Amino acid sequence: MRILLIGPTAVGKTALSVDLAQSLNAEIISVDSRQCYKYLDIGTATPTDEQQGKVPHYNLSIIDPAVKDNVKRYEERARNWRRDIERRGKQVLFAGGSTLHVQCTIQPLDDVPEADASNIARLEAQIKKDGIEILYERLREVDPGYINKMDGMNTQRIVRALDVWMQTGRPFSSFHSDDRSMTVPDDMAVFGLKRSRQVLYDRINNRVDRMLEQGLLDETASVLKRGYDLNDPGLNTVGYKQAIGHLKGNISRRQMVEDIKTKTRRYAKRQLSWFRRWDFVQWIDLDETTPEDAQDFIRKQVAAKINKG
| Residue of 74, 70, 38 whose CA lies nearest to 228 | 38
β-pair partners for 92: 2, 27
pLDDT tens, residue by residue, 251-289:
999 999 999 999 999 999 999 999 999 999 999 999 999
pLDDT tens, residue by residue, 146-171:
887 776 678 888 998 899 899 988 88
Residues 6+ apart with CB under 8 A from 111: 175
Q: With bands split at pLDDT 50, 70 and 90, how would you rate the model's confidence at 246?
A: very high
Core vs surface per residue 163-197: b (16+ CB within 10 A) or e: bbbeeeeebbbbbbeebeebebeeebbbbbbbbee
Q: In what order do the strands lie in the sheet with 91-96?
A: 57-58, 26-31, 91-96, 2-6, 188-194, 282-285
Q: Are 214 and 46 a contacting pair, CB within 8 Å?
A: no
> Average pLDDT for residues 169-187, to the nearest whole number?
76
pTM for this model (two decimals)? 0.83
Q: With bands split at pLDDT 50, 70 and 90, how would you rate the model's confidence at 178?
A: low
List phi, psi (to 5°) of 208.
-60, -45
List phi, psi (to 5°) of 126.
-70, -35
Helices (H), 91-172: 99-106, 117-130, 132-142, 144-149, 155-168
**pLDDT > 90? residue 115:** no
Q: Are 282 and 192 a contacting pair, CB within 8 Å?
A: yes
The domains found in the chain, sorted by start residue, are 2-109+186-308 (3.40.50.300), 117-175 (1.10.20.140)
Q: With bands split at pLDDT 50, 70 and 90, how would you rate the model's confidence at 2?
A: very high
**pLDDT > 70? residue 177:** no
Average pLDDT, the chain: 93
245: left (phi over 0), alpha (psi -120 to 50) or beta: alpha
Q: Are 168 and 114 a contacting pair, CB within 8 Å?
A: no
| Residue of 77, 278, 100 whose CA lies nearest to 188 | 278
**Computed from CA positions of residues 90, 96, 99, 100, in that sequence, does the dihedral angle turn out positive or negative?**
negative
pLDDT at position 262: 97
